[in-house]
Amino acid sequence: MCTHCNLCAEICPVRAIESFEGKITQEEFGKPYFNSKSYKERIIKANCVMCMKCYEQCPVKAIKIIDGKLEINKGDASPSIINCTLCSLCTKVCPNGALKFEMNRIKLNPELCTLCGECVKICPSQTMYLKDRYPGGFCVMCGRCIKYCPVGALSIKTITWGGEIL
């Protein structure tokens, strides 16, 4: 199921896949359809040359070939299992170097957090949670919780071992 990571839009050489960036609000995230057009119509445009980069590199295998065309599996409104294997292949194919993989984790600043829940609503893998609720998936490092936190309480924490970045 698609996690809206935008990797497919970034690696497409002819820009046949429309990026989600700026098009998904906190309220819209996770809904099966966006605006009036169907999910499939908005995402895969007519200029696709079937290079298969998006199909091969999708970290959650959400892109399928159906009747000779690429389609994105939108899943349901509440994803619970994310298939990312943390292989970092997406960083190798990203044409503009926008993706980095350094075994990062999300760090919460409790002094800034107001428990508003915006990070929980925007997290595609349901990794973010409040209080005693256990996470439903694992973080795919999309950064949406950081971007949408209204008080800036979240940041990336790099895990180190013996002073070396893992």
- pLDDT at position 164 is 46
- pLDDT at position 38 is 39
Nearest to 4 by CA among 20, 17, 15, 23: 20
Average pLDDT for 113-121: 70
Average pLDDT for 131-149: 63
One-letter amino acid of 92: K
Q: Regarding predicted confidence, which is higher, 109 or 105?
A: 109
Q: Regarding predicted confidence, which is higher, 150 or 40?
A: 150
Domain ranges across the chain: 1-100, 104-165
Q: Regarding predicted confidence, which is higher, 122 or 52?
A: 52
**43 pLDDT exceeds 60?**
no
Distance CA 101, CA 141 (A): 9
For the full predicted model, state whether its pTM sits above 0.75: no
Distance CA 14, CA 99 (A): 19
**56 pLDDT exceeds 80?**
yes
Weakest-pLDDT range from 14-23, 48-57, 81-90 = 81-90
CATH architecture of 104-165: 2-Layer Sandwich (3.30)
**2 pLDDT exceeds 50?**
yes
